[in-house]
Chain A
Amino acid sequence: ELKVEQNPLFLSMQEGKNYTIYCNYSTTSDRLYWYRQDPGKSLESLFVLLSNGAVKQEGRLMASLDTKARLSTLHITAAVHDLSATYFCAVLEYGNKLVFGAGTILRVKS
């Protein structure tokens, strides 16, 4: 059974600082997703990582995937308040089933 572990679960950051969220998964998968959720809103797709060594960047967020280590990271550069949200990683299991991490609640303080 595929398990996805995400850490930290809660992250309080100062504006302008950098930090990384980690996502480990237990069995082989070739698709990893990062989602963002604002309170009461849908999960918004941020990145889809398809292959070993994949790196994608959008604004202050950068995601990478190491399939050998079964590890993905979401790096936040120079955090701003607008990045406050809950971030989920999810790994595609057989078929079309997504297995999610517990989520990281990110709070960026001014």
Chain B
Amino acid sequence: EAGVTQFPSHSVIEKGQTVTLRCDPISGHDNLYWYRRVMGKEIKFLLHFVKESKQDESGMPNNRFLAERTGGTYSTLKVQPAELEDSGVYFCASSLHPKKSGVSYNEQFFGPGTRLTVL
């Protein structure tokens, strides 16, 4: 079974440009999450989709960030326009609904991340 995949693995853009990150969750996982780790800081939650609906977007830093999950499969995270402080590693994770997985906890499976550098 394929794990969570993310594309691209690295992206270098200039301040003011637009970048779109993509995440493909594990097949059948209704829950999809975005996290990011800014240099030297903790990994922080950005938002959570259940299928195509945004369940929690409390971690989105500002309106330059737009996440979508059309059709409830893959997700994109667009940063427009990018600023220097957006540099970091963006992780995607997915999980089954507890009722589907049969376990009480909600294990999240992470992708390898996209390293974004804004110059």
Residues on A lying within 8 angstroms of B by beta carbon are: 4, 31, 33, 35, 40-45, 48, 50, 88, 90, 92, 95-103
Contact = CB atoms under 8 A, between A and B. Distances in A.
A42 B112 contact: yes
Interface of B: 3-4, 9, 31, 33, 35, 41-45, 48, 55-56, 58-59, 91, 93, 95, 104-113
Contacts of A42: 3-4, 109-113
Contacts of A43: 91, 93, 110
Nearest to A48: B105
Given A43-B91, A95-B48, A97-B48, A50 B42 contact: no
B56 A95 contact: yes
8 contacts: A42-B109, A42-B112, A45-B109, A48-B105, A88-B43, A96-B108, A97-B45, A98-B33
B45 A99 contact: yes
A42 B95 CA distance: 14
B45 to A, nearest CB: 5
Contacts of A97: 45, 48, 56, 58-59
A95 B44 contact: no
A35 B110 contact: yes
A65 to B, nearest CB: 13
Contacts of B107: 33, 45, 48
Closest 4 A/B residue pairs (Cβ): A43-B110, A100-B43, A42-B110, A97-B45
Contacts of B35: 98, 100
Contacts of A50: 104-105
Nearest to A50: B105
